[in-house]
Structure 1
Amino acid sequence: MSNIDKRNHLDETPFSYRVNKDKTIFLEYYGRQVKILRGKEAEKFLRKMNEAENEKDVQLLMAKITGNFKRGNEREAKGKGKDNNTK
């Protein structure tokens, strides 16, 4: 697993989750909601969480499920878009 988290960001435990009474799962990144899981997807997530051996595995699982939403180019892309049309 050392090749996956080269900068040790997952050691900070940025991910967390909450389970609602209707088995809806809310995944959070530094306290901000980033994904909601329901139904079979939620059941599969909970099953994998129970199989995780340590906290780093738990963090990696949540990072993979939330997707690759942090690519490092957020600042660059900030000024681009529909509001930046010049004529």
Structure 2
Amino acid sequence: MPDAHGFEYTVHGSQVHITHHGRSAVVLRGNRAAEFVARVEREDPQELMARLTGNYKRGNERTARNHPRNQRRRGI
């Protein structure tokens, strides 16, 4: 996975607001917010936030699309 960066989070009561380069990415509530706060202490926070926001698939999409195994999916 490429380096994730630019993520920040703030805790507002029982909610966690995650932003990416200053723009709102996701708001976690309830159990997901509590789990995030617990995991952020022991894991890489940037990678964790990238995975939670879905912003982690970068760089290999074109390579995978051109792989022979995936040619039939493109209708070739």
TM over 0.5: yes
CA deviations on 1:51-77 (whole Å, 9 max, x unpaired) are 12xxxx2101000001148768xxxxx
CA distance in 2, matches of 1:49, 1:70: 20
* Greater relative contact order, per chain length (Cα 8 Å cut-off, separation 6+): 2
Task: Give the superposed CA RMSD.
Answer: 2.0
Task: Give identity over the alignment, percent.
Answer: 36
Listed as ranges, the gaps of 5+ residues in structure 2 are: 60-76
Using the size of structure 2 for normalisation, the TM-score is 0.67
Using the size of structure 1 for normalisation, the TM-score is 0.59
The structure with the greater share of residues assigned to strand is 2
Listed as ranges, the gaps of 5+ residues in structure 1 are: 73-87
CA distance in 2, matches of 1:36, 1:43: 12
Q: Which runs of 4+ in 1 moved over 2 A?
A: 68-72
